[in-house]
Amino acid sequence: MKIGVFKFASCDGCQIAFFEISKELIKMDVDIQYFLEAQSENHFDHFDVSFVEGSISTPEQEERIKQIREKSKKVAVIGACAVSGGIQSVRNFMDFFDVLSSVYPSPDYIKSLEKSKPVSDYIDVDYELRGCPINKSQLLEIISSLYLGKELVLPSYPLCLECKIKGIPCVLILGKPCLGSITVAGCGAICPSFSRGCYGCFGPIKNPNIQSLKEVFEDHGFGDIYSHILTGFNAYNREFRGNDEKD
């Protein structure tokens, strides 16, 4: 099985998961053809599956992601940047030139797209691994499923189910803002197991009840925090961005 690992606008953090499962990878007959962070010899030829970290943020990246699609049987996007646009997509909600000139003294030298967008805005995507960063067992699951030819099953249910399976008392009822009910499971309910609210790094479930949870936050008197935590790693996910921007 030929694998490629690619990076776009991102922090490189999700790719670390490949090193964490390296013992398992060695046991499988996988051939890592392209992975700049891990090896000096790389071939851009043909891939059974390509893993893409990072959002599409520059014109070059837009071209490059299309090339990757052409060369790959399957494309899996990994992490909140690739899935949703990442933390850098908060610029999508501001004036682009204001942002640009506030960061760079000579913005003329910068070639950037106005928006930082998810990979799926440019190409068809076969699999999505959520999280900031991703969960290494989910990464192993995707690779071993492809390797063994079995159906990949990743959760689509909210974090609350994972949290309850672990027997953790609901932190929202105990008075802390938590996005668990609109966030997809898969991280192992890390934050609630340390009595902290989930801030949604795994991104939204399908059709989240955003409005009702907003009212719940208001009833708890959490102030304006709701829109702030939604404006994070997954702000530009299709479930969250404005309705006019869905396409």
Partner 1 sequence: MKKIKKTQINQLFEAVKNEYSVVAPVIKEGVISLDLITDISQIPSGFTEDEKGNSYKVAKSSDRFFSYSRPYLPFKRFIIPPEFVFMKVVKNDGRINFTEVIPDKKIALFDIRPCDLKALQILDDVFINKNSHPDSYYAKAREKLFIVAVTCFSPTENCFCSSMGISLKPEHGYDILITELKDSFLIRAGSEKGSKFLERIKAEEVSQTDLVEEEKTIKETEKKINKKVSTENLSQILYSQIDSKQWEKVGSKCLACTSCTQLCPTCFCFNIVEKNSTDGSYSERIRVYDSCFNPEFATVHRFNIRQSIASRYRQWLMHKFAYWTDQFGSYGCVGCGRCITWCPAGIDITEEIKKLREGYDNH
List residues near ligand SF4 by CB under 6 A: 159, 183, 187, 189-191, 198-202
Query: Which stretch in 67-75, 95-103, 112-120, 141-149 sits in contact with partner 1 by CB under 8 A?
Result: 141-149
Alpha carbon distance 140, 90 (integer Å):
30
Strand ranges, E, within the chain: 2-7, 31-35, 47-53, 72-78, 127-129
Smallest distance from ligand SF4 to CB 187, Å? 3
Neighbours of 159 (CB within 10 A): 27
As beta bridge partners, residue 51 has 5, 76
Tokens in use for 224?
A: 């304006």
Chain residues 143-182 in contact with partner 1, contact rule CB under 8 A:
144, 147-148, 150, 153, 156-158, 160-161, 164-170, 172-174, 180-182
Provide the 3-class DSSP secondary structure of residue 2.
Answer: strand
Nearer to ligand SF4, 86 or 200 (CB): 200
Each residue 188-227 as x (binds partner 1 by CB under 8 A) or -, in order, gives -------x---------xxx-x-xxx--x--x--------
CB-based contact 21:40 (threshold 8 Å): no
Alpha carbon distance 31, 162 (integer Å):
34
Please report whether residue 105 would count as binding partner 1 according to CB under 8 A: no
Nearer to partner 1, 107 or 188 (CB): 188
Tokens in use for 117?
A: 């967008």
Residue 9 phi, psi dihedral angles, 5° rounding: -75, 105
Smallest distance from partner 1 to CB 98, Å? 36
Q: Which residue has tokens 């399976």? A: 165
Smallest distance from partner 1 to CB 223, Å? 18
How do beta strands 47-53 and 127-129 pair? unpaired
Each residue 13-52 as x (binds partner 1 by CB under 8 A) or -, in order, gives -----------x--xx------------------------
Footprint of partner 1 on this chain (CB under 8 A)?
24, 27-28, 140, 144, 147-148, 150, 153, 156-158, 160-161, 164-170, 172-174, 180-182, 195, 205-207, 209, 211-213, 216, 219
